[in-house]
Chains A and B, each alone.
Chain A
Amino acid sequence: MIYPGNGHCFVGLGPEEIGDPPVAEILDYEKEIKAEYRERLGPRVDLVNPLAGTIFPNFSLLRAAGRTFRVWHPKGPDAVEIWSWNFVDKAAAPQVKEAFRLAAIRGFSPSGTFEQDDMDNWQGCSQAGRGTVSRRQKLNIQMGIGHEGFDERLNAWTSEARLSESNHREYYPRWAQLMAGTEWA
């Protein structure tokens, strides 16, 4: 996990790990464009291999199941409306665009075999958090404490763990600051 502060973050993989959906057209395409994007974006691009991420506060990207981005619209304490898009390179061949489109619909959409389960999880979390006993507790976001460090090359904080709550500890204070403050406005 890599997070530069202010609540932004992404979950990254090792440089040689594959972050794309296991679809031949997509994997071949990514190999094909690697040299070009390295040339255009410079060698620092090899420092990160993003899987999923959020630009604070409600814009998220996902690479692991097609190419999707979404905007989360809070609709009160028990509801979130999600707008999601599928994006592809304009210059990609039609069959590559189609592969990305289908990977997103079949993997990460309301019916997607990954995402349909996520909604069930979130609903379960909200229901569990609503109970009297749960409400007496503070939300625990300690995961990954003590396994974080600042990476000079990335100019960002990183966690040794791929999944941690390191960015939760940045995200919620920033959110509370913006909700309560007037100095920033």
Chain B
Amino acid sequence: MNLTLNLLVAASLVYVAILIVVAFLAERRAARGAAGWLRGPMVYTLSLSIYCTAWTFYGAVGYAARSGLEFMTIYLGPTLVFVGWWWLLRKLVRIGRAERITSIADILSSRYGKSNGLAVLVTVLAVTGTTPYIALQLQSVTLSFAVFAAPGTEPGDLTGLALWVAAGLALFTVLFGTRKLDVNERHDGIVSAIAVEAVVKLVALVAVGVFVVWGLNGGLAATGRAIATSPVAGWEAAPGRWAGLILVSAAAVICLPRMFQVLVVENADERHLVTASWAFPLYLMAMCIFVVPIAVTGLARLPAGSNPDLFVLTLPLAEGQDGLALLAFLGGFSSATSMVIVASVALATMISNHIVMPLWLAREADRRATISGDVRDLVLRARRLSILAVMAMGYLYFRVTGGSAALAAIGLIAFVGIAQVLPALAFGLFWTGATRLGAIAGVATGFALWAWTMLVPVLAEASSVVTSGPFGIGWLRPEAMFGLAGDPLLSALMVSVGLNTFVFCLVSLFTAPTPMEQLQAPRFVHVFDRAMAPRGRLSGPAGAEELMIMAQRILGATETQDIIAAEARLQGRPGDLPDVTPRLLEALERRLSGSVGAATAHAMVSGITGDAAVSVEDLMAVADETAQVMEYSARLEAQRAELTRTARELREANDKLTALGVQKDAFLSQVSHELRTPMTSIRAFAEILRSGEADAEESDRYAGIILEESRRLTRLLDDLLDLSVLESGQVVLTADEVRLADIIDRAVLAASGSGDAIAIEVSPDLEAICVRTDADRLSQVFINVITNAAKYCDAEAPKLRITMATREDMAVVDFVDNGSGIATRDRGLIFEKFSRLSDQAAAGSAGLGLAICREVMARLGGGIAYLPGQDGAAFRVHVPLAGRVADAAE
């Protein structure tokens, strides 16, 4: 068999075709729900083998040929991580499943309060670290093709081939990486394909190893002797480098985006980790076991100057084992392709979830539209474009750098770069006090230092910045930061990861976590002992229908309806839309975050529900809203109280009106009665007089009665008129300054002429009191009170005592007689119209006197009241003073 380039291309194509068939069949099986062993522990373990890229397949031998056993550190680190799964991986996988984590950026974003800023930072870091790595794979494929090319063909002539490889890989990845938007972000097709690739590369490497040990060296013992006499027989690793490399590789196996993808995201069952804890180290060991023999044999047998990175390929070829060489080629090809495929899926997930979707959501939010259009399509499109972009970047990096550095160098640079995520991740899983700002500061610090100390020297190899530091500042020289001019890799590692961790812890200690972080941190740190209590949500106005429509755009109709229906069943109302409970929101958000990442999913659900438990600002907005609602309700309360008051007033007014109506009726009937009685007697006597039957004396008497009754009528009518004028307020009162004593004298004089005898005693003190009032009206009141006393005082020797006094700005006149007084129950009635307490001496009284008095006193700005607690009936009249007591005038 003669291996030509065309044959290799054909073999590669056939191999790829087989992979496509495998992936396709696996997807179909999974779609039928019969994933079975496809999601079993063995496939899981094999998929983890993407840790072993072309760097392992070709590079490990080259590494061993240069530095002896040091290459093993790259596999010892992961071994420690996996046998120590109880510490970190168990937690990582549990969280990954519980929170539906989609990527390494997503887990950090979720842990630190769903911070998208952190996710973007990690995404950028991952892309920066992975792009050279993808370039490395393209380079290894190109180099391996070049081995078979006709003599004289430069590897540079084959860059076109690299483009085809990149394009082909992009196509495959788009085909199987974005076929559907799986809520679990699981890619059965890809996982199966890389499991097959894992077997191919292991078989290839072991086959070459077996051929070398038993075919070329003649057994284990002979190989041992060959090692002992080889250039790498001695231990060459500098002190500390061994431990440092183990640390870096241990960090990388956790944090590399592609490793995180297969380890956490594609994990179908937590228990697979238990199998992987021994099976994956076993795989790594198998990959390593023949590396040193191949390296040693290559060094011994191949001409000096041969590229040790290609010994796996060139050794069988040189020995005429074309079939084995083809297998080795396919092994290398599969190592490279599986890495590129998974890495680009992982990166594309991060880019679309943390950069494209948030941008798109922000743009939509600007438009003030809720989610419109098919987001599902958009996510897939974003992901496809991201895959193409990642692949294009890898290819461009390969073209631009021309693959200058040795494979191992680029591999280690990428490892240290991604190790910058480890402090934030590891502390975040065990320390609730780790904050978002701390994580951002730490990762940013580490990222910057790593880029400066490791990337710059590779990209700008011989520039002055690298050789003598920026602006000639020696201690900033990338390869000897802070004057640490030891092993460049170790010093870069210690400076970047060390300061990263330090800054992370420091900032975390000095910053307060946001409410969202406070919610998220325990979910991560205490993932094993929490009861998964659903997070309290502010009940928003979101309808289940709105949520369903939104979720459908991302999860698809069937999936969404399943969730909704399940929730409805749980709520005991199958066939109906469920209420929007925190549990439903939680479930939806978790599913969505499986497709678009935690931050985006949270933003989308929050956007619909108005769920605002995100930030202090949002909480403040909610508080503000609450305050507004409270104010509004307070206003409503006030309005209600006012209405109640108005209603009460209306009711009172109504009552009063009713009472007044009754009073009016009573009044009218009183008035007619009062008018009727004298009219009756006038009529009767007038008739007698007309009939002429009465004699002169009788006539005289009758005429007298008629006259008296007419007077009484007139008086009654006068009183009524007076009262109505007073009550309607039409009365005109004059206001003069008069001596109170004068008015009283006048009243006493007038009253004494009315007939009823009563001894009146006016107390002489304070006769100089002057009042400002209408003298006639006031004397009318006094006369009325005096005549009443004369009329009703039932003492044998009736006596009325009138006293005067001043109280503040009022003159007070008391009329006290020595009668039996007025009963308590009647005191309220005496000022009412037509109220006569008894008929005994009622002649000539219509009962209007005191009512008129009250009205008059009210008009005069004073008052009249019954004065209880005296010997007899007592009335007290208040009159406004004239301003001062007129004592001085005396």
- To the question of whether A and B form a pair in one complex, the answer is no
Report which A residues bind B (CB closer than 8 A): none
